[in-house]
Amino acid sequence: MATLLSKLLALPQQWQLLLLLLLLPIASLLLVIGRNTGGRRRRRHLRLPPGPARLPVLGNLLQLGALPHRSLRDLARRHGPVMMLRLGAVPAVVVSSPEAAQEVLRTHDADCCSRPSSPGPMRLSYGYKDVAFAPYDAYGRAARRLFVAELFSAPRVQAAWRARQDQVQYSTTIACILFVSLLCGTHNFHLPSGQNFHTCMIGLLGW
């Protein structure tokens, strides 16, 4: 192995780049195939809904076409009102009948209302400790009740009315000054004292 590595390093730089460009797609393909094989072994023990055949990497994305709602209608006529699709690497269950929708949204709503687990939101929310990505459990329900009671109740909204009005006026003034400075081509735009660019941008986005 060390001898082979030394021989590869002795090749010219253009040949090393060519080998790297050839090996990266092959390694990615092997990784995807191995992941699909492992997932297929785990799915053998599950009773999954029927669905159309899919490609290894794209899944059923190409079958959706330019009009996804009509493509899903045609697929539902062939595979039934509950079918399994794979949108890229993400599995999705599609229901297309009132009875199946009632089963999902009413009978089994506690099992279907949580967001799928993902590493990005988990790190962003410090282990699903926020309101948006928290699963539907005791903690999530308590956090949502606290969020609504402390921020979106009628007394809280009315109490923050003056602060919102001040922020709208401030953001409007900053936007007008910035727009005029851009039109005039001047670059000596100064923010008010005690403010920074991040605060102004948050105000403009919130407005």
Per-run averaged pLDDT (10 residues), the chain, 207 residues: 61 70 76 62 70 85 88 91 88 89 84 79 85 84 86 82 82 77 63 52 50
Residues 181 and 168 in one domain: yes
The total number of residues written for the chain in this structure = 207
For residue 35, is it within any domain?
no
For residue 175, is it within any domain?
yes
Total of domains in the chain? 3
Residues 102 and 138 in one domain: no
Residues 132 and 83 in one domain: no
Residues 56 and 97 in one domain: yes
pLDDT for the residue numbered 83? 92
Tell me the residue range of the domain where 165 lies: 160-206
Residues 107 and 123 in one domain: no
> What is the end-to-end Cα distance of the chain in Å, rounded?
61
Neighbour-count burial of 187, counting CB atoms closer than 10 A to its CB (0-12 exposed, 13-18 middle, 19+ buried): exposed
Residues 105 and 130 in one domain: no
Give the Cβ contact number of residue 6 at 10 Å: 9
The amino acid sitting at 161 is W
Q: Provide the 3-class DSSP secondary structure of residue 196.
A: coil
For residue 196, is it within any domain?
yes
Residues 167 and 150 in one domain: no
Report the distance separating Cα 89 and Cα 108, nearest Å. Answer: 25
State the DSSP H helix or E strand holding residue 205, giving kind and residue range, or none if neither: helix 197-206
Provide the whole-model pTM.
Answer: 0.49
Q: Provide the 3-class DSSP secondary structure of residue 207.
A: coil
Residues 193 and 151 in one domain: no
For residue 13, is it within any domain?
no
Angle, alpha carbons 67-72-73 (nearest 5°): 100
pLDDT for the residue numbered 11? 65
pLDDT for the residue numbered 207? 47
Residues 74 and 91 in one domain: yes
